Amino acid sequence: MGEHVAYIRVSSIDQNTARQLDGLHLDKIFTDKCSGKDVSRPQLAACLDYLRDGDMLHVHSIDRLARNLQDLLRIIESLNQRGISVSFHKEGLTFSADKAEDPFQKLQLQIIGAVAQFERAMIRERQREGIAIAKAAGKYKGRKSLVTDDLVARAKAMQDSGMNKSAIAKALAISRNSVYKLLAQ
């Protein structure tokens, strides 16, 4: 029997990974702290590279592993073809490498992936509706602009004194891109 390997993803640095896969005996754990939409998930790439024939990949839930349905199908099919099984604990599903061509298993995966994608879309829609209601009530103003007349004047004065944009950015503790925007005002 192969190793039991876990992939854990949390959306932000301050989120706790302890609740995911708590109590399981795992030989190796890979953890990414980034958004699910983020294409760059270095620990997922390392995890997928680490896995070998006979291993079992444990994931808390489907949305922790994949960004969308196509990504989910691609990852699971690739792992199953390599002899690696995948277990999603929240959903109580295991996609065994022994049943890689099982049409019912594939149907389950597609349905669950579609439901998860729909659920995320509904959450985003409710969030947009909530923001629109708050804006209409004057309670939501968005992020306060950090650009002030003083900051623009300071940036222009520094440019006039001969400082380059990188030096201005460093002196004002802002990005070079922000310097270009300030100087365009």
pLDDT at 18 (0 to 100): 61
pLDDT at 38 (0 to 100): 63
Residue 11 bears catalytic tag: yes
E strand or H helix at 142, and its extent? none
Contacts 24+ apart (CB under 8 A), 8-16: 8/32, 8/59, 8/60, 8/64, 9/33, 9/34, 9/36, 9/41, 9/43, 9/44, 9/64, 9/65, 11/35, 11/36
pLDDT at 22 (0 to 100): 76
Choose, from 11, 78, 161, 175, the residue flagged as catalytic: 11
pLDDT at 3 (0 to 100): 92
pLDDT at 64 (0 to 100): 87
Residues 6+ apart with CB under 8 A from 131: 140
Mean pLDDT per block of 10 residues along the chain (185 residues) reads 89 63 86 75 93 94 82 87 92 78 77 78 87 86 79 91 91 89 85
pLDDT at 48 (0 to 100): 95
3-state secondary structure at position 6:
strand
pLDDT at 136 (0 to 100): 87
Give the global pTM.
0.58
